[in-house]
Amino acid sequence: MTEVTGAAEQSRPADAAAGIPIRSSELSTWQAMRRSWQAYALLAPIFVLLIIFNYYPPILGLLRAFYRWRPGVEASFVGLQHFGVYFTSPETGRELLNMFKLLAFFFFSGAVVPFVMAVLIFRIRDTESKELYRLFLIIPMLVPLIVVILLWKQIYDPNLGVINGLLEQVGLGSLALNWLGDTATALYAIMFMGFPWVSGVGTLIYLGGLGQISESIFDACEVDGCTGLRRTLLIDLPLVLGQVRLMTILAVIAGVTSFQTILVLTDGGPGFATMVPGLTMFHKAFRTQQFGYAASIGMILFVITFTATLAVNRTIHPAVEDVRH
């Protein structure tokens, strides 16, 4: 017994020998890492590459927000000067307003509409029909996004576009507009792109969450007369709040940072009607070579996204997992 105790004392880490208490969980984790050192050694090159190419560039970009930085010119520290210039710009207010409009739209199209579609598919009793609808959701994902954007640009064309052509055919030619060239309609035309906004990824995520709910819960709902919309609001929605939180966070990220569609369709025009901070960041970086100023806009977008993500995590709390099974 004494020999076993002595061996255990010798196997303790130096901290424990020095009188520093170590929890058993920490001790077991450290021992597991020591036993698996070969695996960690093999993974080390991957972590090094991730740090170099995935983490170092964005961190450097955030730090460059406080510098005047142009290619070929030594960066000089300017503090908060870039932020002051941006927030005093006469177009900043419109850019932020457009961004928050897009944020609200992305929440509706990226989190709400896919949930409704997932519930409709989930309620179908025929298994083969369910699989067929899932296939229909996946097929549009095979088309590159740039192709979709250019297609909608042709649809909105004021002379040869499908929308104005249909209005002419039904005798409503007076309603035909230059949808992307009018300051009153350009941003809303961009939002309408992709109607009816049935996201394949979002719908499949919600379907996965609904599929994890125990059948006994649905049976109990039918016995209690909880069906239709009431079941959706009281049973389905609370039990997929984890998926709702995920899709809401993705909608926040898309609403705050996305500008590719606007770049291709209007490039922020007409005038500044569809300009958003992300597009201004792109213009400052790659058209006027003001990389430090662009980095400051990126810092602002990062703070907005991070704050909104924290708010979503604190607001939307998934149901207890035990209820699902």
48 and 116, same domain (yes or no): no
User: Is 288 part of any domain?
Assistant: yes
Cα 132–chain centre separation: 27
| pLDDT score at 139 | 86
Contact 40, 33 (CB under 8 A): yes
Percent of the chain with pLDDT over 90: 56
| pLDDT score at 70 | 84
Give the pLDDT band of residue 320 (cuts 50, 70, 90): low
User: Is 148 part of any domain?
Assistant: yes
Q: Please measure the distance between the N-terminal and C-terminal CA atoms of the chain and give it in whole angstroms.
A: 47
123-167 pLDDT, tens digit per residue, is: 888 888 888 888 888 888 888 889 999 999 999 999 889 999 999
| pLDDT score at 25 | 55
**Among all chains, which residue has been given the structure tokens 């170092």?**
56
135 and 180, same domain (yes or no): yes
| pLDDT score at 24 | 54
As a residue count, the chain comes to 325
Percent of the chain with pLDDT over 70: 90
User: What single-letter DSSP state applies at residue 319?
Assistant: P
Given 79, 94, 123, the domain boundary residue is: 79
Phi-psi region of 197 (alpha: psi -120 to 50; beta: other; left: phi over 0): left
User: What single-letter DSSP state applies at residue 267?
Assistant: T
125 and 51, same domain (yes or no): no
Provide DSSP, 268-282: T-STTTT--HHHHHH
User: What single-letter DSSP state applies at residue 76?
Assistant: E
67 and 128, same domain (yes or no): no
154 and 240, same domain (yes or no): yes
Q: What is the mean pLDDT of the chain?
A: 86
Q: What is the largest CA-CA distance in the chain?
A: 99
109 and 139, same domain (yes or no): yes
Is residue 281 pLDDT above 50, yes or no?
Answer: yes
Is residue 12 pLDDT above 60, yes or no?
Answer: no
pTM for this predicted structure: 0.81
Q: What span, in angstroms and rounded, lies between the C-alpha atoms of 150 and 146?
A: 6
Provide DSSP, 9-74: HHHS-HHHHTT----HHHHHHHHHHHHTHHHHHHHHHHHHHHIIIIIHHHHHHHHGGGEEEETTEE
Structural domain including 34 reads 20-79
Q: What span, in angstroms and rounded, lies between the C-alpha atoms of 276 and 267?
A: 10
